Amino acid sequence: MKPIVVLGVFVADTAYRADRQPRMGETILGNSFSLGPGGKGSNQAVAIGKLGAPVTMLTRLGADDFAEMAMNTWRGAGVMPEVIVTPESYTGAAYIFLEEATGNNAIIVCPGAARLISPADIEAKRALIEGASVFITQLEQPIEAAHAALAIAKAAGVTTILNTAPAAALPDAIYPLCDYMTPNETEAEEMTGLKVTTLDDARRAGDVLLSRGVGTAAITLGERGALIHGKGVSEVVPAISAGPVLETTGAGDAFNGGFAVGLARGLSPVEAAKFGCAVAGISVTRKGTAPAMPSLAEAEAFYGAKLPA
C-alpha cells in the first residue's frame, strides 16, 4: 500500500475544562488542565498511523520543546515525519476551552512555523506527494501551500481530500482539485452561504460544492453522522456510538483519518465514511485529540468488518 500523505499543522493543545467560558475581563476557576499533541493535520496523521496505514506528515516545526512533543507523538503512532525545522519561528499551540457538562469546545490555533509553509516547500516535496495513495490537507497552513499540493496530487492521479477546517475563502481553482471535500455543518454554511440545519440543507450545500468542481462532498453532521453527496449518491451515514461522549475536540480529525484509510484500502466513499464514523465514535469517548485515536482492531470492531488488505 502506498503511503497516505498529510500536509498540515502540529500544535501543542492546552486544554482547559470549566463550567463555562469567562466573559471579557473576567477570571474564573477551571476544573482541570491538560497539555498534549494536536493540530488538525497531525491528529489526522496520528489517526491514520494508529489504524495501521503507512503515513507521512509534511509540515514545519520550530526548534523547541513542542517540536519534541510532535516527534515523540508521531514516533508512537507510526507516522513518518517530513519536517522542515524552522528555528526562527515556534512550534504551534492551541487554546482549547471544554465545557464540562457537554464536552463541546471552542478553540484558538496559533500555527507558528507551519504558517510559513510555502508553495516552494511543496514543490520540493513533489515526489513524496506524487507517490501517495491518498493526499489529505486542511486549512490551518497557508491556502497557497494546500492549493499547490492538491494540484500536484491531482495531476499524479492521487486521491485528494481537502478538510476545509478552519473555514476560509477558497480560490475557485481549488475546488476541481478535490476528489473529496469534508466540511462540517458550520464550514459548509460559510463556504456556500446556505444555512445547514436539515439534511436537505446539507444536500443543497453539497450541490453548491459539486457545481464548483468538487468530486464528492462528505459533510460531517455531528451526532447525525455524515452525508456523502456526489454524482449518483446522496447517502447519510449514521454516527456510531461507542459509549458516553467525553470530548468532541478531535472527532472531525478522527473521521477524516478513518475516511482516508478507508479510501486507501479500497472502500467505496459511503463505506469509507462508515469506517470514519466508527473511528470518530470511539475518539469522542476519550480525553484529548491525538491520544483519543483508536487502533485498527477497535475501529474494525465498531465498523463491523475487517478492512480489505
- Per the residue annotation, which of 13, 121, 179, 253 is the catalytic one? 253
pLDDT score recorded for residue 192: 96
Report the Cα–Cα distance between both ends of the chain, in Å, rounded.
9
CA distance 204 to 197: 11
Is the Cα dihedral 9, 11, 15, 21 positive or negative? Answer: negative
Q: What is the pLDDT of residues 141-159, one digit of tens each?
A: 999 999 999 999 999 999 9
Mean predicted confidence (pLDDT) in 31-49: 95
pTM for the model: 0.93
Mean predicted confidence (pLDDT) in 292-304: 96
| 253 classed as catalytic | yes
66 is written with which cell numbers?
Answer: 513542542
Domain range summary for the chain, segments of one domain joined by +: 4-303
Q: Is the pLDDT score of 221 beyond 90?
A: yes
Residue 184: DSSP 8-state:
B
CA distance 141 to 40: 10
pLDDT score recorded for residue 287: 86
Round the average pLDDT of the chain to a whole number and report it: 96
Mean predicted confidence (pLDDT) in 79-87: 97
229-233: long-range contacts at Cβ-Cβ below 8 A with a sequence spacing of 24 or more? 229/202, 229/203, 230/206, 230/269, 233/269, 233/270
* Radius of gyration of the CA atoms of the chain, in A: 18
4-303 classified as CATH 3.40.640.10 = no
Q: What is the pLDDT of residues 241-252, one digit of tens each?
A: 999 998 888 999
Burial of 52 (0-12, 13-18, 19+ CB in 10 A): middle
